[in-house]
Amino acid sequence: MTADPRQRITDLRNELNRHNHNYYVLNAPEISDRDFDMLMKELEALEAEYPDMDDPLSPTHRVGSDISSSFEQEPHIYPMLSLANTYSINEADEWFGRVRAGLGGEDFAITGEMKFDGTSISLIYEHGRLVRAVTRGDGERGDVVTENIKTIKSIPLQLQGDGWPEFFEIRGEVLMPWEAFERLNKEREFNEEPLFANPRNAAAGTLKMLNSREVSRRSLDAYFYYLLGPELPFDNHYDNMTAARSWGFKVSEIMTLMHSLEEVDNFINHWDKARRELPVATDGLVFKVNSLRQQLNLGFTAKSPRWAIAYKFAAERAVTRLKFVSFEVGRMGIVTPVANLEPVLLSGTVVKRASLHNEDIISALGIHDHDLLYVEKGGEIIPKITGVDENGREPGAEPIRFVSHCPACGTPLVRVEGEAAWQCPNKFGCAPQIAGRVEHFVGRKMMNIDGIGEETARQLLNTGLVSNIADLYDLQPSQLLRLDGFGPRSAERVMEGLEASRSVPYDRVIYALSIPFVGDTVAKKVAKAFPDIDMLMSASAEQLAAVNDIGPKIAEGVVEYFANEMNRSIVERLKAAGLQMSMTVENSEPHSDCLAGKSIVISGTFSHHSRDEYKDLIERNGGKNVGSISKKTDFVLAGENMGPSKREKAASLGIPLLSEDEFLAMIEPA
């Protein structure tokens, strides 16, 4: 740490900006919420001490944003402020004392609630119907995600009962339950996609997906904790939320009304342990002054209400003995070290294994044979090794050394350029890589061939029936019947899946090939830019890198893949088997240039096509999709429930609004 406080201010700003980017953009936080808050508090104190160092772009002047250019934005009717955090019972007690002083000794009640660890959402209801859902964003405005919110079955679209105001806002947390989170990460691990660090990141990422069907599949949930509006049914928070529960909202039964400091402390002590039995992630408790009148009297600081505070649970940590480190090979040949541990109970689950990721992390932690390791979860389900108890090290213990040869096939490993990873280059002779590529190829988002899972893929490989993905199309039912666990119906399902896969679109075939760095999104972009496989196989790195969002690393990975004669042979065999190796005319050719040069904003909900389909229609007719209205906007494609602010801005600038029917008539051929 630098001794110069001014330099420390600069360093803290840079570090906090980096952590904000990791959290909000990459969904890959490196530090805990508490550590982040401690850095922020240090910066706030230094900036107060050195006011001449004030900078309007300092992290202390902003709230981290989850706004995405892919969604339309709406301002919040009431700003969504964050709560001040406390990390000890003493700090919570001090807040209680400040409330008592702020109310001049007047009696008051406190509502205690669970702080669910999800992503914040604001819902607007009019006449008992959901009309808009907006993410927290920067606290002043957020992304409109109404269509995705409608997929969450615990959220009422039409209220039940009676007594609800004609207009109100309700706030809550969108969550991914532990069970759904574990299922999602297993799928991502199978596809060798980056795992979500915790359910909060998974929920946030899911809510921002452009495909609401995929959102629906991920089993999100939501709990609600605050009601706002000009005409609420009661003058206190507890009764308002109880009423909201009767209207169909999921309001936690944990919510408790308390009247003394002793009750607050008991609430903390109880839920610090009992929370581990809940089906969703939590990271603390929230305490609110119950009376709305008293809330108004206490008011707000610049960043948070004085009448509420968050108590954050400490991350759960355990110490356990390392049994051994195994080295596991994925479908791309990357070798991952895994710590195999003496079983230890952590956050309600028994932890036996934890990824060590790469050689650099092993070195940084300084792990030796049979060391005592610190394992943390906190709000996370994925266990993480955070340190070593060197006092428990066995005499003469040797440092853990990364393997130099592939643990599966014995081939010398090579270091991936620019990365910390080691890779087995034996692509076509290393069993885990081959089996992994087969598993990936048949996956639901790729070729969706039912009946071939991890165990079957290894059986096919071990029996010599399959040595690469093209061999799948040579399989016969009689061969499958010889495999363990296969009967006539199982074999028939595989054959039906193989036949159906011949109709899978070209972009999904590209994704299924296991080309380095080419996931489903990149595959779509590549397919549009190179609408048949021969064009793609002959594309240069420069041509690939010229495609939007395709950088040099991806381009080089594609070129290297098709430079391999074995890969080219496999693709030719797949082509001969009847797989879709080109874009259909409908998808690859522009319909017209009738929208050439026009910038178009899409707003609202539609009946004939989805928003994504309209965006595609605009692009295929020469137009450009833009996210916000300006003087350069040519017109707005306006559906139902168009945001009032966008409607007002379009009117003030004289931008025309076109209905669905008017737009479709415009692009129809004469």
- Hey, which residues are catalytic here? 115
Tell me how far apart the alpha carbons of residues 598 and 564 are, in angstroms, rounded to a whole number. Answer: 43
| C-alpha dist (Å) from residue 502 to 498, 533, 574 | 7, 15, 9
Collapse the DSSP code of 184 into the 3-class scheme (helix H, G, I; strand E, B; otherwise coil) and give the result: helix
* Sheet of 85-86, strand order: 85-86, 308-312, 282-289, 110-116, 256-258
Tell me the residue type at 233. Answer: P
Tell me the residue type at 375. Answer: V
412, 330 in Cβ contact below 8 A? no
Tell me the residue type at 321. Answer: R
| C-alpha dist (Å) from residue 517 to 99, 139, 510 | 54, 35, 12
| C-alpha dist (Å) from residue 239 to 122, 150, 245, 264 | 20, 26, 10, 19
> In sequence order, what are the beta bridge partners of 328?
336
> In sequence order, what are the beta bridge partners of 225?
none
235-250 burial: b if 16+ Cβ within 10 Å, else e: ebbbebbebbbebbbb
The CB-side HSE value for 165 (13 A sphere, CA atoms) comes to 16
Tell me how far apart the alpha carbons of residues 576 and 372 are, in angstroms, rounded to a whole number. Answer: 56
365, 387 in Cβ contact below 8 A? yes
> In sequence order, what are the beta bridge partners of 291?
236
Assign 3-class secondary structure to 436-465.
HHHHHHCCCCCCCCCCCCHHHHHHHHHCCC
